[in-house]
Chains A and B, each alone.
Chain A
Amino acid sequence: MSLLSILIFLPLFAGLIIVVLPSSVREGYKYVALAAVIIQVLISAYIYLHFNGNVFTGIADQNKYQLVERLPWISLNLGAMGKLQIDYFLGLDGLSMPFMLLTSVVMLVALLASWEIKINLKGYFALFLLLDTAILGVFSALDFFLFYIFYELMLMPLYFLIGIWGGVRREYAAIKFFLYTLFGSVFMLLVIIGLYFSVTDPATGYHTFNMLSMMDPKNYVEGSIFSALAHNELFGVSARLLGFIVLFIAFAIKVPIVPLHTWLPDAHVEAPTPVSIILAGILLKVGGYGILRVCVSIFPDAAIQSAWWLGLIGIVSIIYGALNALAQTDLKRLVAYSSISHMGFVLLGIASITPEGISGAMMQMISHGFLSSMLFFLVGIIYSRVHDREIPHFRGLALIMPKFSAFIMIAFFASLGLPGFSAFIAEAFSLIGAFNSESINGLLPRWMAVCGTLGILLSACYFLWTLQRMFFGETRLFGGEKWKIQLTDVNAREVTALCILTAFALVLGIMPSLAFDKMNASVLELIRLVNLK
């Protein structure tokens, strides 16, 4: 059993321990979970330190993945169709390794935020850890079927976490989130099956779900539905383009892009703080990661063909998300819309298919993972104290919560792209990629980069305006004196979580090479693969 399997199944194991523990030690559950997540952080830090980005370039070559684990899992005999071979196939490269660390850290923060959960602790922590397992699995699976299983496995715990521990309209938010994501993934399953019938494993000759085999045009069966040479058409569209679009939509719902984003504000508003942190911090990144790992790598020809549209969707998400954020009065909704806006940069960077753009997109996902977690954590602090987060209900918070306000200023300034923080590097690189694209590969016109810059401006507007409305001026609160007493400043646990996140945002902003060095070779390899077509 490799380190990777241990990392993935450690949370599951801890979750099972919590399930069998008697409820008399109810207060101990969170410490079991905490222990598991801390070990997880240590393992992923170890993996990070021992990861050689120049050797393990990954993408389409199994030998260039680190910590590879490949065991036969399901082999069904399908008679005339040969054998259904599904492997338990894991590995890390420069694209997935950063997310392992991100997941571990964000999970730690989310767990620290879970101290506020008071009801049904056993179920909560068990589901939390199950979710952790599923997310780590998604980022390391290299067999498409396994990837799908983990991808779907993320849904169930989240559905219950929102539905049981959520706000007033939790039922609606939970089923909306569930059906939206499932809508994408059901059709993704069909494309997976289609790919399966198109691709054979060069070693065995059987059809395979191996993603790496799917990336090599040589492995496609002649005349099969997704073969690049056959030029098959489905419903009047090129089959490969259609496959790309279906997979893209599945992941884009997760990202989310405008107009498939409407589940996100609802889910965020109704979800408890830790779940919001996980949603924004990690789950949105699954979408971006999926687009890179699956859509672009398996259908590079279609990716180039639709790059312009991807860029456009990115721009629309940036601007539309930012404009919506400006109009919100609920602080959590504002942060949710800002997430949509910031994730637009990811799409823009990917669409440029330049080293700067894709590195920028990766960086934006990592940076946004830390910063959005921080924002939701901060919103959660206010909400847990007075159960209100309407912006107009607060004024002059800086006077009564100085430390809290300091953190929120850091988070706001970092998110709006102040130099010195990770978001600046990330957005700058995505925009450079988009800007250079016209001269390098001609995929994106320059005006898209210009519009993206507008997004940064808008994000400065809504963040600074919120800062002004809620934190500056004389203290005036909707709840009066009662709120003044309830709004205590951040405690040690909260400071710990916030400091972790601040540190990451700052370190990545000052020394972005810490991340770029690990993933650069993989990004270049990905671009080489795409340009082969």
Chain B
Amino acid sequence: MSALITITILALLLLYLGLFKAKKALLPVALIGLMVALVLSLMEWDSNAAPIFSNMMLYDRFAVAFSGITIFLTILIIALSKDYFERISSNVAEYYALILFSLAGIILMVSYHNLSMLFIGIEIMSVSLYILAGIKKRDFASNEAALKYFLMGAFSTGILLFGVTLIYGASGSFDLEGIKQYILKDPTAVSPLLYTGITLLIVGLSFKVGAAPFHFWVPDVYEGSPSLISAYMSTVVKVAGFAAFLRLIMFSFAPLQDFWIPMIIGMSVLSLLIGNVTAVYQQHFKRMLAYSSISHVGYMLFAIIALNGSSDNAVFVYAAAYSVATIIAFGVLILLQGQVGNDSFDSFNGLARKNPFLALTLTIAMLSLAGIPLTAGFIGKFMMFSKALSSYHIFLVVFAALNAMIGIFYYFKVIVAMYFKEEDRKELIVPVYFKLVLGFSALVTIALGVYPDFIASLI
């Protein structure tokens, strides 16, 4: 719990630093503060997890693991923000503070034990993101992204809230344990209100994670938002959304599997299909990443379809692999957009010759996203496929395997452009922070792929 308090205080501290014009200190303070929060949250690993704050939250291993990974990813992203916000406006402290506020919401989302806390967490996160998506005030796309994100977000939260109330109506409780007990009492004679409630909850959360058919906002918002914020949304926010989803389903709704599994399978298939097929036709790297992120949701849903005690483990590994690789991709994208002003696949031509380091890290990221062995992404996909096969969803896995092939096709477009196409170009200038983040992330990706034990046995 100390992580949540640290992050909130850190955000306030940054606002004060901004007030006193200590701009140079913002980034280091934010990084150090987050590292402290990371350590504090990991220290609660083996503590006896009991619900706290009148059963509002439960900081169990699940919560520790997912808040650990979200904080870790935020550190990586904030490290990429050096000189990024300055180009947009001179009041940068607010941006850092907003990111941290949304992170505070995310910590709530992964550790709630009461549906009202889930709602509050989502709102804290979303409101900060609505602003962040639109920080490029003079940019039309950014404004569009903010508006779209706001409308869709508000709409989905409404649906979510409606679901929560229906569940309350049926079970008389907001508490995860209470709902579970209500279902377990007699799983065959559950009030129909509850079924409606579950459906609406799933729909609301699917909006948040961007699973098809509730994905329409994803490409436009990711494309329009400033790249750094897109990176944050497609990694940290997505992981948090998924953790919230999984926590709800694992904790409370597991006995009603027969009801919601077909829904999730449908969403998974649609996400895979729409995400992958549309990504093939993209000409721009950022939009391709947006669609591919939809397809990755499809894979992650496998863990929910084949729900058992190790689902959290599988999602954790997959999310970590996916997020780290995505951060590399967005890191390169930020450099490219800043210095070339374009992110079409052609603008990657000949990058390997001028920036071998960038090309290498981006290649590792693409291989990981494509799920090639010896990268973290392969381990993630392997775990998802094993899970789904262990519960005999053979059609689904065959379908997913075909989709993985399609995925390789578009991820390799970038590699082809960088290595196989020659073009005279200027060398991109890579700041030290970027080198650190990209190199570190690439190392993590390979290390996870070669020796996944140390992370996968965490939860």
- Residues of A near any B CB (own CB < 8 A): 73-81, 84, 148-149, 152-153, 155-156, 160, 163-164, 170-171, 174-175, 178-179, 182-183, 186-187, 189-190, 193-194, 196-197, 234
Which A-chain residue is minimally distant from B309 (CB atoms)?
Answer: A79
Would you give the shortest CB distance from B333 to chain A, in whole angstroms?
23
Residues 291 to 324 of chain B near chain A (Cβ within 8 Å): 308-310, 313
Q: Which residues from chain A contact B389 at a C-beta distance below 8 Å?
A: 190, 193-194, 197
| A74 to B409 CA separation, bound complex (whole angstroms) | 29
Query: Is B386 part of the contact surface with A, judged by Cβ < 8 Å?
Result: yes
- Whether the pair B457, A76 counts as a contact (CB closer than 8 A) is yes
Interface segment among B98-106, B122-130, B228-236, B390-398: the answer is B390-398
- Given A163-B416, A164-B419, A175-B412; A78-B310 close (CB under 8 Å): yes
Identify the stretch in B37-45, B338-346, B367-375 within 8 Å (CB) of chain A at 4 or more residues.
B367-375
Instruction: Output the nearest chain A residue to B394 by Cβ-Cβ distance.
Output: A234
Considering the complex, give the chain B residue whose CB is closest to the CB of A73. B451
Q: Complex: how many Å from CA A193 to CA B409?
A: 24
Q: Does B383 contact A (CB under 8 A)?
A: yes
| B389-414 with Cβ < 8 A to chain A | 389-390, 394, 397-398, 401-402, 404-405, 408-409, 412
* B367 near A156: Cβ-Cβ < 8 Å: yes
Task: Note all chain B residues with C-beta closer than 8 A to A197.
Answer: 386, 389-390
Where chain B touches its partner, the secondary structure class is: helix
Within 8 A of A (CB), among B331-372: 367, 372
Task: Please determine whether B386 and A193 come into contact, CB atoms closer than 8 angstroms.
Answer: yes
Q: List 8 A-B contacts (CB under 8 A).
A: A74-B453, A80-B309, A153-B373, A179-B408, A182-B405, A186-B405, A190-B389, A196-B386
Question: 9 smallest A-B Cβ distances: which pairs?
Answer: A79-B309, A79-B310, A152-B373, A186-B401, A78-B310, A76-B456, A80-B308, A149-B373, A163-B420
Q: Which of A78, A156, A193 makes the CB contact (< 8 A) with B372?
A: A156
| Cβ of B213 under 8 Å from chain A | no
Interface size class of B (residues with CB under 8 A): 20 to 34
Report A191 CB to chain B, min CB distance, Å: 10
CB-contacts of B114-170 with A (<8 A)? none
Most A CB within 10 A of own CB, among B404, B409, B453: B453
Q: How far is the CB of A389 from chain B (nearest CB, A)?
A: 23
Complex CA–CA separation, A244 to B229 (angstroms): 48
B374-A149 in contact (CB<8A): yes
Interface contact A174-B401, CB-CB below 8 Å: no
**Known interface pairs A153-B373, A156-B372, A193-B389; 14 further A-B residue pairs with C-beta atoms within 8 A, sorted by A's residue number:** A75-B453, A78-B313, A79-B308, A79-B310, A81-B308, A148-B373, A156-B367, A163-B420, A170-B420, A171-B416, A179-B405, A186-B402, A186-B404, A190-B397
Contact indicator A189/B382 (Cβ below 8 Å): yes
Q: Assuming the A-B contacts A76-B383, A197-B390, are A190 and B398 also in contact, with contact meaning beta carbons closer than 8 angstroms in the complex?
A: yes
Q: Are A76 and B452 CB-contacts (below 8 A) given A163-B420, A164-B419, A171-B420?
A: yes
User: How far does the alpha carbon of A248 sit from the alpha carbon of B408 in the complex, in Å?
Assistant: 23
Select B385's contact among A77, A148, A171, A189, beta carbons within 8 Å.
Answer: A189
